[in-house]
Amino acid sequence: MSGLADNFDAILLDLDGTVYLGHRPIPFVADTLKTVLASGSRPMYVTNNASRPPAVVAAQLREMGLTLTQDDVLTSPQAATALLVQRHPPGSVVLVVGAPYLADEVAAAGLVPVREANADVVAVVQGHSPDTGWAMLAEACVAIRAGADWVAANVDTTLPTDRGLLPGNGAMVAALMAATDCHPRVAGKPARAMIDEAILRSASVAPLVVGDRLDTDIEAAVSAGVAGLLVFTGVSSPADLLTASPARRPTFVSFDMRGLVDSHAVVEVLGGGAGWQVDEHDDTLILRAVASAGADSSDRAQDNAALHALAALAQVAWNTRVSAVTAGDERASVALARLGIGADQFTGSAAP
C-alpha cells in the first residue's frame, strides 16, 4: 500500500502517545515503521525527554520491535546543547540544572559543565530531573541574574507518570522566570530548534513531523515550516482539532500510524472533505453526507469517511466561531461517533 511516507525522506516521530503509551507500544506502530524503513524514508525519534540518553531510548524502542540505533534518537538535551554551541565557543563554562545525562551532553559538545554559579559561567542549561530542588535553582538564579545565557531543554509544565501528571521541566523554568524576570531560549518542542536539529542530523530535504499533541508536536512543525501529521492515539482529539489556532493546525490527520503507509488511512485537512457538506446555524456546525454511501462498510472505509468529515468540519471551524457540532443525517451520525464528537461533547470556538 502506498502512503504518506512515500512523499517524505525523514519521519520525525514523537514518542509518548505516538509510538508508545507508558511502557506499551501503540498498535500498528512496529509494522508501519518497518514499511517506512523499507520504502527508503528514515524514521527519527524526537523527544522532549531530558533525563534519558539516546542509547537508553533506542534500547527501549528495540524491545518494542523497532529497528534503530541511538543516532536515530534526538533528545531535547541534544537540541539544547546545539543551541549553546552556536553561541559559545569550546571550553565555555555552563551551569547545568538537570539530570547527569544533560551534563554529559554539555561535556561531549566541548563545553565545561558545572553545578555552582561562578564568574566563569556564561550560560545556564536546564532540563528535567526529579532531583532538582531549591539549591540548584538558586545557583541558576545567581548566574542568570548575572547575565548568563539561559537555555531550557523544554518547557513542558507537566510530566505524565503512572501516578498522574507531575511537575515537568516547565514548572521549574517558571520558578526561575518568576525569580529572575528573564525568559530562556527553548530547544524542545514546540520551539522550532529541535525540529531544525532533527532535519540537520537526518540530512532531510522533505521532513514530516508526526505526533499526538497539537500544542507541542504540531506547533513545532508549523513553527519550523514543515508538514505535520496528527495521530489520534494520545492527547489531542478530533474535537481539539476544530478549535486549533493557526499555529497548531496539522497538514494531515490519521487515527493512528497506519496513515504513513496506507493512503486510505490519512487525509490532508485542507485538501480533504470529499463527500461531506457543512452548514452553519446559530454557531452550530451541521454535518451532512452529499455522496452515496456505496457498498463498502468496512472499518477502513468508515475511518476514511470519518477523516474526510473531520477535514470538512475543520475547514469551516477554522474560519468561524462555533459552539456545537451536530449530525444532519445518519451517515453524519456514524462519522461523528467514530470521531468521538457529539452535540454534548464539543464546545469551544475556533481561532480564525
Question: For residue 34, what is the domain's CATH number?
Answer: 3.40.50.1000
Identify whether 257 is part of a domain.
yes
Identify whether 70 is part of a domain.
no
- Candidate list 6, 14, 71, 104, residue with the active-site label: 14
329 belongs to the catalytic site = no
CATH code of 287's domain: 3.30.300.290
262 belongs to the catalytic site = no
Low-confidence ranges of the chain (pLDDT < 50): 1, 347-352
Which 8-state DSSP code applies to residue 26? P
Identify whether 143 is part of a domain.
yes
Measuring CA to CA, how many Å separate 116 from each of 113, 127, 137, 172, 226? 9, 16, 10, 17, 39
Reduced to 3 states (helix: H, G, I; strand: E, B; else coil), residue 84 is helix
- Candidate list 6, 16, 149, 162, residue with the active-site label: 16
Identify whether 176 is part of a domain.
yes
Is the model's pTM score more than 0.75? yes
Tell me the sheet residues that pair with 96: 125
Which residue type occupies 284? T
Q: What pLDDT does 3 receive? A: 87
Same domain, residue pair 239 and 199:
yes
Q: What pLDDT does 10 receive? A: 97
Identify whether 58 is part of a domain.
no
Distance CA 248, CA 228 (A): 10
Cell triple for 241: 482539532
Residues 72-100 pLDDT 10s: 999 999 999 999 999 999 999 999 999 99
Domain of 121, in residue numbers: 83-186
Nearest to 307 by CA among 333, 279, 349, 274: 274
Number of H helices, E strands in the chain: 11, 19
Measuring CA to CA, how many Å separate 305 from each of 150, 284, 308, 309, 341? 48, 21, 5, 6, 14
Same domain, residue pair 195 and 180:
no
Same domain, residue pair 232 and 300:
no
Number of domains into which the chain is organized: 3
